[in-house]
Amino acid sequence: MKIKSSEFIISAVGPKQYPEDGLPEIALAGRSNVGKSSLINRMLLRRNLARTSAQPGKTQQLNYYRINEELYFVDVPGYGYAKVSKTEREAWGRMIELYLREREPLRLVIQLVDLRHPPTALDISMYEWLSHYRIPICIVGTKADKLSRNQVPKHGKIVRETLGMPKGQPLVLFSSETGMGRDELWSIIAQAADI
Ligand code: GDP
């Protein structure tokens, strides 16, 4: 995938602000600090388009990025952030749930998990929720460069087993530091978006 353009479009706080051009959307979800901003930047070959923020959970909106006038990345705020109020958490949950369940142009949810550790209870419940609604999922194991070469496949297997992923479902072993997994993830995105 050759990146000709990538631009931030909007931090949407509700459906009225979602784009209306019908371009396919690829959502990215994962707990705070999992490496989502770094992955977006690496995928788009941008240093700082998605803020690699030291303050996780700050974004309570869906951040839209348009790529090559062809598709959107939709950055879903990190789940499991403890420092927001219960009311805020519930409002966040409803908005995201509606988006993921009913958004017509949504083609794929990329769920990020930290490859160094087994998926957490929150990772598992997110995965089960997406599976329940038959939303197409690609799991990405982040920070692969922090593991030794022979640990990477072992940890990949643990992720697969812990989530109970079906055989055909993709798991991409990824590193924003080295670019590992980037081409593979782009080909999965291109296929899902039909571009
Ligand atoms: P976000 O909260 O999910 O957007 O996470 P960030 O992208 O801000 O990353 C959280 C921290 O993990 C930052 O200190 C990043 O530099 C680091 N990080 C993210 N991805 C990688 C990676 O692939 N390899 C390594 N070594 N560090 C990473």
Residue 80 lies in a domain: yes
Q: What is the pLDDT of residue 53?
A: 46
Query: Does 149 score more than 80 pLDDT?
Result: yes
Q: What are the b/e assignments for 106-121, b being 16+ CB within 10 Å? A: bbbbbbbbbbeeebee
ipTM over 0.90: yes
CA distances for 140 relative to 35, 55, 91, 181, 185, angstroms: 10, 22, 26, 9, 8
* pTM to 2 decimal places: 0.93
Q: Which of 138, 123, 121 is nearest to 28 (CA)?
A: 138
Query: Per residue in 131-166, is it b (16+ CB within 10 Å) or e — as a string?
Result: eeeebebbbbbbbbeebeeeebeebbeebbebbebe
At residue 25, the pLDDT reads 98
58 alpha carbon – ligand 1 mean position (Å): 15
pLDDT for the residue numbered 194: 96
What residue's CA is closest to ligand 1, atom 25? 143
Range of the domain at 134: 6-193
Mutate to test the pocket of ligand 1, among 42, 46, 48, 52 (most ligand atoms within 8 A of CB): 52
- Is residue 105 predicted with pLDDT exceeding 50? yes
Distance CA 37, CA 41 (A): 6
Note whether residue 47 is domain-resident.
Answer: yes
Q: Report the nearest atom of ligand 1 relative to the CA of 31.
A: 3
> What is the average per-residue pLDDT within 156-177?
97
What is the structure's pLDDT at 147? 98
Q: Is residue 93 part of a domain?
A: yes
- Mean pLDDT along residues 93-105: 91
Q: How many domains does the chain have?
A: 1
- Establish if 23 belongs to a structural domain: yes
The CATH number of the domain holding residue 141 is 3.40.50.300
33 found inside a domain: yes
Q: For ligand 1, what atom is nearest to the CA of residue 146? A: 26
Dist. CA 188 → ligand 1 center (Å): 22
Average model confidence (pLDDT) across the chain: 90
The verdict on residue 36 lying in a domain is: yes
Q: What is the pLDDT of residue 94?
A: 80
- CA–CA separation, 36 and 49 (whole Å): 12
If DSSP codes are grouped into helix, strand and coil, which group holds residue 138?
strand
- Ligand 1, pocket residues at CB < 6 Å: 30, 32-38, 52-53, 56, 78, 142-143, 145-146, 175-177
- Whether residue 157 is contained in a domain is answered as yes
Residue 16 Cα to ligand 1 midpoint, Å, equals: 31
Q: Is residue 1 part of a domain?
A: no
Residues with Cβ within 8 Å of residue 106, at least 6 apart in sequence: 25, 26, 27, 74, 99, 100, 135
- DSSP bridge pairs for 148: none
Average pLDDT over residues 50-78: 79
Cα(34) to centroid of ligand 1, in Å? 6
Distance 2 CA to ligand 1 centre (A): 24
Averaged over 172-192, what is the pLDDT?
98
